[in-house]
Amino acid sequence: MSDTCKFKIDGKEIIAKKGQTILEAAKENGVFIPTLCNFTGVKPKGSCRICSVKINDRFMTSCTTPVAAGMEVESNTEEISDLRKSIIELLFVSGNHFCPSCEKSGNCELQALGYRYQMMVPRFPYSFDKKNVVATGPKLLKDQDRCIKCQRCMKTIKDDEGKRYYAFKNRGRDLEVVMDEEMSKTITDELAKEAMENCPVGSIIYKGVGFSEPIGTRKYDKQPIGSLIETN
């Protein structure tokens, strides 16, 4: 039995390893599917929904759905592109994303997706909810204005015992990702930097340095997000 299988994304033939997710296979085949909550190396959760694709007229998240031989996946259609754009807009209006004052600007994945999908203005009204910034820990601050609840910090930043530094609090619209107060006091420098690195937006900020990269040289200043995948 062969350990690869073939399927199609928007008519393009994709060769995938069995057990791969649609997203992984797409990436290896030079097809970009946008993601926010997905993070290489950890179990996907499918919570941002931005990688949604259509299979048999049903929406599935490509980060969690395993490939199957012969499946026909719709991804870059007008309908799905607009859907993804609307999710980006939802995340913008439900947080307080003041890009001009954000340290992650230029390296932010949400912003980069806004560029890629040419978001000029969100279709939804801004919420301007009051959110807090917790900066009591010695190394990191957590800015709830910018958090998109992707869970990447929750899944990747853990201590040796597997205890999580970050966890959810509340539910629904009141949902927040908060840092464990006790653990934040003793987080290592390395892990703190990793936490900031893993955050797709500017919600986790490492204290001490800031705005070190000039405009023009940042990750998404010149190249759209996903370019690396597409040129592979």
Partner 1 sequence: MSKKIIATTSLAGCFGCHMSILDIDERILDLVELVEFNKSPIDDIKVFTKQCDIGIIEGGCCNSENIEVLKYFRENCDILISLGECAIMGGLPAMRNGIPIEECLHEAYLDGPTVKLNTQKILPNDSELPMLLNEVYPCHEIVKIDYFLPGCAPRADLIWDALVALITGNEMDLPYEVVKFD
Partner 2 sequence: MKEKIKAILEKYQIDATRLIDILHEVMDEFGFISAETITLLSNDLRISEAQVKETISFYHFFSDKPRAKYNVFLNNSITSCLRGFEHVKEAFEIESGVKFGNVSEDGLIGLYVTSCIGMNDQGPAAIINDKIFTNLTPYRAKEIIKGIKQGKKVEELIYEANGDGNNAHPLMNTMIINNIRRKSLLLDDNYEKFEVTKNLISKYSPQEIIQIVEESNLRGRGGAGFPTGLKWKFGSKMPGEHRVIICNADEGEPGTFKDRVILTQYNDLVFEGMVIAAYATAADMGVLYLRYEYRYMLEFLNSQLDYMRNNNLLGNSINGIKDFNFDIRIQLGAGAYICGEESALIESMEGKRGEPRDKPPFPVERGYLNYPTIVNNVETLASAVRIIKNGAEWYKTFGTSDSLGTKLLSVSGDCRFPGIYEVEWGVSIKEVLDMAGAENVQAVQVGGPSGTLVNVQDKENHSKTDLMKWYKPSGMMASRKAYDRKISYSDMATGGSIIIFNKSRDILHDVVMNFMDFFIEESCGSCSTCRNLPYIMKQKLLKIINGHGVREDIDDLLNWGKIIKVSRCGLGQTAANPILSSILNFRHLYEEHVKAMTDYDNQFELADSVSAANSFVGRKFIHHNS
Q: Which residues bind partner 2 (CB under 8 A)?
A: 44-50, 52, 59, 61, 64-66, 83, 86-87, 90-91, 93-94, 123-125, 127, 148-149, 161-175, 178-183
Residues comprising the chain, all counted? 232
- Which residues, in sequence order, are bridge partners of residue 6? 15
Q: Which of 20, 76, 96, 198 binds partner 1 (CB under 8 A)?
A: 96
Q: Which of 37, 91, 102, 157 binds partner 1 (CB under 8 A)?
A: 102
Task: Locate 179 and state its tokens.
Answer: 């840092």
What is the closest distance, in whole angstroms, from the C-beta atom of residue 88 to partner 2 in the complex?
Answer: 9
Instruction: Give me the amino acid identity at 35.
Output: T
Residue in 66, 146, 68 with CA at minimum distance from that of residue 111: 146
* Burial environment of residue 221 by CB neighbours within 10 A (0 to 12, 13 to 18, 19 or more): middle
Smaller CB separation from partner 2, 126 or 211:
126
What is the closest distance, in whole angstroms, from the C-beta atom of residue 116 to partner 2 in the complex?
Answer: 17
Q: Provide the b/e sequence for 66-94 (b: ≥16 CB within 10 Å).
A: ebeeebebbbeeeebeebbbbbbbbbbbb
**Contact flags string 39-78 toward partner 1, x per CB under 8 A:** ----------------------------------------
Residues 118-177 that bind partner 1 (CB under 8 A): 118-122, 125-126, 128-131
Total of chain residues touching partner 1, rule CB under 8 A: 28
What is the closest distance, in whole angstroms, from the C-beta atom of residue 125 to partner 1 in the complex?
Answer: 6
What is the closest distance, in whole angstroms, from the C-beta atom of residue 79 to partner 2 in the complex?
Answer: 9
The maximal CA–CA distance of the chain, rounded, in angstroms, is 57
Smaller CB separation from partner 2, 135 or 228:
135
Smaller CB separation from partner 2, 76 or 221:
76
**Contact flags string 198-217 toward partner 1, x per CB under 8 A:** -----------------x--
DSSP string covering 133-179, please?
EE--SSSEEEETTT-----HHHHH-B-TT--BSEEEES-GGG-EEEE
Which of the listed partners (partner 2, partner 1, none) does 56 bind, with a CB threshold of 5 to 8 Å by partner kind? none
Query: CA 134 to CA 146: how far, in whole Å?
Result: 12
Residue in 76, 83, 67, 75 with CA at minimum distance from that of residue 22: 67
Smaller CB separation from partner 2, 10 or 159:
159
What count of Cα atoms within 13 Å lies in the side-chain half-sphere of residue 137?
26
